Amino acid sequence: MIKLSQIRKLYDTQEALRNVDLQIEDGECVVLIGPSGCGKSSLLKSINRMIDIDAGTITFFNQDIQSLPVEQLRRKIGYCIQGVGLFPHMNVKENIAILLRILKWKEEDMDRRVDELLVMSELPLSYKTKKPHELSGGEAQRVGVCRALATDPPVLLMDEPFGALDPMTREKIQIAFRDIQQKLHKTVVFVTHDIEEAILLGDRIALMNEGQIVQLSTPEALIKDQKENFTKSFIGQDYPLMVLKRYRVRDLGLKPHSNETVTHAIDLNTNLKEALALCIKQSEPVVFKDGQETYQLKYSDIFTFIRGMQDEAAH
Amino acid sequence: MKDGIRRGLSLILFSTLLFLPMGFFKVNRVLNGSVFSLWDFDFVWFLVLCAMFSTFRVHNRFISLIRTLFLMVLPSILIYVSQGYLITESFDPNVARISLGPSIYLAIVGTWVLLSTEEKGTFKIVASLLVLLALFGFGAFPMLGFYKEYINRQTTFFLELQRHLSLAVSSLLFALVPGIYLGYQSTRHPRLREWIMGFVNGFQVAPTLSMLALLMIPLASLGQSFPFLRAWGVKGVGFLPAFIVLSLYALLPITSNTYTAFKQLDPAVMDSAKALGLSSKQIFRKVSFPLALPFIITGIRIAFIQNIGNTILAGLVGGGGMGSLIFLGLAQSATDLILFGSLPVVLMALGFEVILEFTELRLKKKMGVLYDQA
């Protein structure tokens, strides 16, 4: 658990963070979002002491981070940034294993760990000997995540890690990252300015403006509960539609139908936004196959689901 | 430059053989010589014709192979045949000599320009140069003034060459550690940087010669007051002042390149190294120094090439090196001796430049820092 209380940060006379309080629970992903210069990056970097705060305390598993040696603290916190920052003179394996080598792991353990991470992030094992400049942007970012996870740290800090990727690659890597996160249950703090990314990845979204957290709630709760004008203008009118992307057809709990003619090539893993789009484009119901079973999907299934979700968020 | 332009240029350079002097005949070392040209020979015009024809494009592989071989030996042949002029005159073969004229030099340049249009041009140019040097070493050009100077001073030549190199190398090595250290410190302390750069720039701005003169006074008086220092070689003239001045001059390229080397490191890379929990020592050893190394080597290369040239001035203060031959030649107005002193310096500088640049390129590729320049 990471607890930030009354954090202040000044750049010269400019206040970047104004008495920010934030508590991050174990295994949850908190997304910090806001316009440029709102202090989201500064807040993230204060956790692994890449910047030093001027007032306030940060406790990391009930220990004040100032009382820990800074290298010790950073080794417990994975860190991914937009530029990836892979070491250009080392190959992929050396990049991932740099900290393991410093910690004097055995060669075979190191090999096993690197293989494990590459498999998890869906990269071929042959990439181990590649140099960073031979990788595409998405591949480099995956290697960056592997490097951050090498020592299996309980916490991950991610500073707009997918910001520089093209939309197609970004969506793929976002989904891959969500799947990894659902497996590993790391405590993640994620900075972005992309509201869709925040919805897709965040358990909670902390909306920041002018050095303060304006609103902190789950993506679902944000549909109805928009406390400030700033929230309304930042998340936009189509926000409820974007939340649909968080869910898959599987979450609707559809029952298998029999003897239907399949009309569409989607499956239970398709997200609800796409499913809704299909309903709009085609005359309903949408009939599709997943494995051996056949299902049918209607507008009303999606609407009922959203209503239920909102009720749940309200309580 | 486009191939066509290069071919045209070498055609022009070859054609200078038709109207510019090919060389000068001298009855002895000092007297002004008489000019001779292509037309004083019987068949050399044919050679020139061949050379001019070789500038045209050919597609036959066999012919182009013959042409390449011809071009690689052409400089040697031109110099060899120019010695034939002596046969037509009555002379004392021990003192009479030939100096090469402008058209031969231009034609040699033309050969190299033409070779550079071919595949592996640099390699072929070096090969033709080696052929020339080898023939020179085996005594194929006995009538050349250049060769006579070489025979007269064979022992001095190799001694001076060795002194030249050792002075250039030792002063560079002496400047290496302080240069890199100062450059690295300037990246860490921006305010210190002004002072450091001002200090090393100061030496670069002061003319080398005046630095030598300025150093003579304190070194001479030091040596006179303390006999034990004098025994160690602390004198106003000789090795030491040259060594000091060369070291100071080598500082700037090394320092400023080291500074840029560390300054240009990708902040994302440095940040991730820090955030991974590497200590500052580990970051230096594993990340920043290896990545800065190719650029530091650039500085060392520049300093070394510059040192090879500057070491000539050591000849003025009795520090030895090729400079002593050049200044002797100047004092005796013996053109061949001047050339004899300076050509090896030029060749050395070019040779080391090529070798070091190649090393640098390999290193940059290995460090993966080349791709953002390509």
Q: What is the pLDDT of residues A135-172, one digit of tens each?
A: 998 899 999 999 999 999 999 999 999 888 888 888 88
Percent of chain A predicted with pLDDT > 70: 98
Of B274, B291, B367, which is closest to A50 when you measure between CB atoms?
B274
Q: How confident is the model at residue B110 (pLDDT cuts 50, 70, 90)?
A: very high
Partners of residue A289 on adjacent β-strands: A294
pLDDT, position B154: 85
DSSP 8-state code for residue B120 = T
What average pLDDT does the segment B40-45 reach?
83
Q: Do A99 and B369 touch (CB under 8 A)?
A: no
Answer whether residue A146 is part of any domain. Answer: yes
The count of domains in chain A is 2
Q: Do B269 and A88 touch (CB under 8 A)?
A: yes
Answer whether residue A90 is part of any domain. Answer: yes
Residue A177 sits in the same domain as residue A118: yes
pLDDT, position B373: 38
Residue B374 has pLDDT above 50, yes or no: no
pLDDT, position B119: 84
CATH number at residue A276: 3.90.1280.20
What average pLDDT does the segment A39-66 reach?
91
Query: Domain of A287?
Result: 247-314
DSSP 8-state code for residue B153 = T
Chain A residues contacting B via beta carbons under 8 Å? 48, 50, 71-75, 77, 79, 81-89, 98-99, 102, 131-133, 144, 147, 157
Q: pLDDT, tens digit, for every residue of A69-122?
A: 999 999 999 999 888 889 999 999 999 999 999 999 999 999 999 999 999 888
- Tell me, yes or no, if B269 comes closer than 8 A to chain A by beta carbon: yes
Do A34 and A8 contact (CB within 8 A), yes or no? no
Q: How far apart are the first and last CA of chain B?
A: 19
pLDDT, position A284: 64
Buried b (16+ CB within 10 A) or exposed e, A222-246: bbeebeeebbeebbeeebeebbbbb
pLDDT, position B372: 44
What average pLDDT does the segment A272-297 reach?
82
Sign of the dihedral through C-alpha B251, B252, B254, B256: positive
Do B369 and B288 contact (CB within 8 A), yes or no? no
Q: How confident is the model at residue A258 (pLDDT cuts 50, 70, 90)?
A: confident
Distance CA A91, CA B94 (A): 66
Residue A278 sits in the same domain as residue A138: no
Q: pLDDT, tens digit, for every residue of B263-321?
A: 999 999 999 999 999 999 999 999 999 999 988 999 999 999 999 999 998 888 888 88
Question: What distance lies between CA A23 and its chain's CA centroid?
Answer: 17
Distance CA B13, CA A105 (A): 66
Distance CA B135, CA B81 (A): 13
- Give span(s): CATH 1.10.3720.10, chain B: 154-366
Other Cβ atoms closer than 10 A to A308:
10
pLDDT, position A278: 84
User: In sequence order, what DSSP letters do the residues of A81-99 get, joined into one string?
Assistant: ETT----TTS-HHHHHTHH
Answer whether residue A135 is part of any domain. Answer: yes
Chain position carrying tokens 């010589």: B33
Do A275 and A258 contact (CB within 8 A), yes or no? no
Partners of residue A59 on adjacent β-strands: A3, A64
Distance CA A44, CA A31 (A): 10
Q: How confident is the model at residue A251 (pLDDT cuts 50, 70, 90)?
A: confident
Residue B240 zone, left/alpha/beta (φ > 0; ψ -120 to 50; rest) = alpha
Other Cβ atoms closer than 10 A to B341:
27
Which helix (H) or strand (E) covers residue B35, if one does? strand B34-36
Nearest to B79 by CA among B128, B32, B9, B124: B128
CATH number at residue A108: 3.40.50.300
| HSE value, Cβ hemisphere, 13 Å, CA-based, for B306 | 20
Q: pLDDT, tens digit, for every residue of A166-216?
A: 888 888 899 889 888 888 899 999 999 889 899 999 999 999 999 999 999
pLDDT, position B371: 47
What average pLDDT does the segment B133-156 reach?
87
Q: Which residues of chain A neighbour B274 with C-beta distances below 8 Å?
A: 50, 74
Cis amide linkage into residue A285, ω under 30° from 0: yes
Say if residue A163 is exposed, middle or buried (CB neighbours under 10 Å; 0-12, 13-18, 19+): middle
Distance CA B77, CA B55 (A): 17
Distance CA B263, CA B187 (A): 6
Residue finishing a domain among A182, A215, A235: A235
Give the angle B49-B54-B58 at the CA atoms, nearest 5°: 140
Question: What distance lies between CA B91 and its chain's CA centroid?
Answer: 36
Q: Do A85 and B269 touch (CB under 8 A)?
A: yes
Nearest to A245 by CA among A171, A162, A144: A171
Question: What distance lies between CA A196 and its chain's CA centroid?
Answer: 11
Residue finishing a domain among A213, A235, A257: A235
pLDDT, position A205: 93
Length, in residues, of chain B: 374
The single-letter code of the amino acid at A150 is A
Residue finishing a domain among A200, A235, A270: A235
Percent of chain B predicted with pLDDT > 70: 97
Answer whether residue A242 is part of any domain. Answer: no
pLDDT, position B223: 79
Of B272, B277, B282, which is closest to A85 when you measure between CB atoms?
B272
Residue B88 has pLDDT above 90, yes or no: no
DSSP 8-state code for residue A113 = H
Question: What distance lies between CA B89 and its chain's CA centroid?
Answer: 37
Answer whether residue A81 is part of any domain. Answer: yes
Q: Which residues of chain B neighbour A102 with C-beta distances below 8 Å?
A: 278, 282
Q: Which tokens in the block code for residue A50? A: 């890449």
Give the angle B238-B156-B321 at the CA atoms, nearest 5°: 40
Chain position carrying tokens 């030029």: B346
Partners of residue A215 on adjacent β-strands: A207
Buried b (16+ CB within 10 A) or exposed e, A72-92: ebbbbbbbbbbbbbbbbbbbb
B24/B374: higher pLDDT: B24
Residue A243 has pLDDT above 90, yes or no: no
Answer whether residue A214 is part of any domain. Answer: yes
Q: Distance from A4 to chain B by nearest Cα, in Å?
A: 19
Lowest mean pLDDT among A46-55, A87-96, A281-290, B339-348: A281-290
DSSP 8-state code for residue B92 = -
Q: Distance from B366 to chain A by nearest Cα, in Å?
A: 7
- CATH number for region B154-366: 1.10.3720.10
Nearest to B171 by CA among B97, B243, B278, B104: B243
Nearest to B259 by CA among B298, B211, B227: B298
Q: Do A89 and B278 touch (CB under 8 A)?
A: no
Residue A157 sits in the same domain as residue A27: yes
Average predicted confidence (pLDDT) for chain A: 88
Buried b (16+ CB within 10 A) or exposed e, B301-324: bbbbbbbbebbbbbbbbebbbbbb
Residue A268 sits in the same domain as residue A192: no
Which residues are within 8 A (CB) of A308 and not within 5 positions of it... i.e. 6 or more apart? none
Q: Do A73 and B276 touch (CB under 8 A)?
A: no
Residue A28 sits in the same domain as residue A112: yes
Do B44 and B74 contact (CB within 8 A), yes or no? no
pLDDT, position B108: 92
